[in-house]
């Protein structure tokens, strides 16, 4: 049995037909975890869909109303880049429920993995890039509402910039923003070490992404690492270590939300970085070892993964579970 829970439902499947987003990956991950005896049935917990009130902690009433009544405009549906259906709305409400549950379990057990979620391109008032609802933000806001946390950190290692996350949780204060530069680390906040003067939610956002990729407009995160095309394992892990260390010198989170995208992989169809499967597992280990050594609870979501061979995407996501088992079993 794993020393943490895997949040999963067969209904995470996104009904989007033939699409570059491999909606079948969630079921395949569960199957592989079972087949390779990495997990057993009792390791899985089934989420409930988020309540509308939970979704409204992040998204505007107008947007939620449009989704629930199927009234997205043609332009809005185009921005979403997946075909709209009421079933798709249900799947996104469920993934948000999954991230609420994973946040809760992480705060209780030290770590929890949502075998889904990570829809980091969703904005309060619209969806983008296959992301309708920002499940991670919903999880954070719900935990804050319940008084379970005040300070959260997001660490986004999907190959694409976490534009929705940055829009929902803009950095507290900005220094002059230099233009994004390949390989550069941009710091957008002053130090935010522990300050218990108010109960307001504070969220520190980190995004490591390929500079030359979607989205065209990248709103500032607390720390942005704009990686050049073709970045390989060693360079990537160096930048990740530096960004995470810098963040933790500035901010002490009560929950780390790790968005473990599989698309920095060298054979990804929508990514231009060059990490290996082994390098991606080392990435997961690095994040989890740092979190564990500092006793920071971690909730993990999966985000993107578009390898030419979907089995590779499944391997990368399964390896995140293996890395967590290695780090949290010892």
Contact residues for Zn ion (CB under 5 A)?
158, 160, 261, 263, 304
What are φ and ψ of residue 310, in 5° steps? -60, -25
Residue with Cβ nearer Zn ion (60 or 269): 269
Please name which of 186, 168, 169, 185 lies closest in space to residue 177, comparing C-alpha atoms. 186
Residue with Cβ nearer Zn ion (170 or 215): 215
Residue with Cβ nearer Zn ion (149 or 240): 240
CB of 184 to Zn ion, least distance (A): 21
* Spatial distance between the Cα atoms of 206 and 289, rounded to a whole number of angstroms: 17
List Cβ neighbours of 266 (8 Å cut-off, separation of 6 or more).
273, 274, 275, 276
Residue with Cβ nearer Zn ion (21 or 44): 21
**Residue nearest Zn ion, Cβ-based:** 304
From the number of C-beta atoms within 10 Å of its C-beta (0-12, 13-18, 19+), residue 53 rates as exposed
- Do 284 and 277 touch, CB atoms closer than 8 A? no
CB of 51 to Zn ion, least distance (A): 28
Residue with Cβ nearer Zn ion (120 or 187): 120
Residue with Cβ nearer Zn ion (139 or 264): 264
Residue with Cβ nearer Zn ion (26 or 251): 26
What are φ and ψ of residue 122, in 5° steps? -80, 135
Sign of the alpha-carbon dihedral angle for 1, 300, 317, 82: positive
3-class SS of residue 303? coil
- Token readout for 111 is 């770590």
Q: Would you put residue 121 in left (φ > 0), alpha (ψ -120 to 50) or beta?
A: alpha
Q: How far apart are the first and last CA of the chain?
A: 14
CB of 110 to Zn ion, least distance (A): 27
CB of 261 to Zn ion, least distance (A): 5
3-class SS of residue 263? coil
CB of 205 to Zn ion, least distance (A): 16
* Spatial distance between the Cα atoms of 55 and 262, rounded to a whole number of angstroms: 26
CB of 304 to Zn ion, least distance (A): 3
């Amino acid at each position: 049995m794993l020393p943490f829970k895997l949040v999963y439902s067969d209904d995470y499947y996104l009904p989007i037909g033939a699409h570059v987003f491999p909606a079948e990956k969630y079921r395949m991950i569960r199957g592989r975890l079972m087949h390779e005896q990495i997990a057993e049935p009792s390791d899985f917990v089934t989420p409930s869909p988020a309540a509308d009130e939970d979704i409204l902690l992040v998204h505007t009433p107008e947007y939620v109303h449009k989704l629930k009544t199927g009234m997205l405009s043609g332009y809005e549906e185009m921005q979403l880049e997946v075909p709209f259906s009421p079933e798709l709305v249900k799947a996104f409400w469920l993934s948000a429920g999954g991230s609420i549950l994973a946040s809760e379990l992480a705060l209780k057990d030290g770590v929890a993995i949502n075998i889904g979620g990570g829809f980091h391109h969703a904005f309060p008032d619209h969806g983008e890039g296959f992301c309708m609802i920002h499940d991670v933000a919903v999880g954070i806001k719900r935990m804050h509402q319940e008084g379970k946390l005040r300070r959260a950190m997001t660490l986004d290692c999907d190959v694409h910039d976490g534009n929705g996350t940055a829009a929902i949780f803009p950095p507290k204060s900005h220094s002059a923003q230099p233009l994004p530069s390949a390989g550069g680390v941009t710091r957008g906040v002053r130090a935010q070490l522990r300050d218990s003067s108010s109960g307001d939610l504070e969220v520190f956002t980190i995004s490591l992404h390929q500079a030359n990729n979607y989205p065209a407009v990248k709103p500032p995160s607390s720390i942005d690492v704009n990686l050049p095309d073709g970045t390989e394992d060693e360079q990537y892990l160096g930048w990740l270590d530096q960004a995470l260390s810098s963040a933790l010198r500035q901010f002490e989170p009560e929950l780390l939300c790790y968005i473990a995208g599989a698309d920095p992989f060298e054979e990804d169809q929508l990514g231009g970085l060059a990490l290996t499967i082994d390098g991606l597992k080392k990435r997961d280990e690095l994040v989890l070892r740092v979190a564990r050594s500092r006793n920071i609870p971690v909730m993990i979501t999966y985000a993107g993964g578009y390898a030419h061979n979907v089995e590779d995407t499944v391997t990368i996501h399964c390896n995140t579970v293996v890395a967590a088992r290695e780090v949290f079993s010892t």
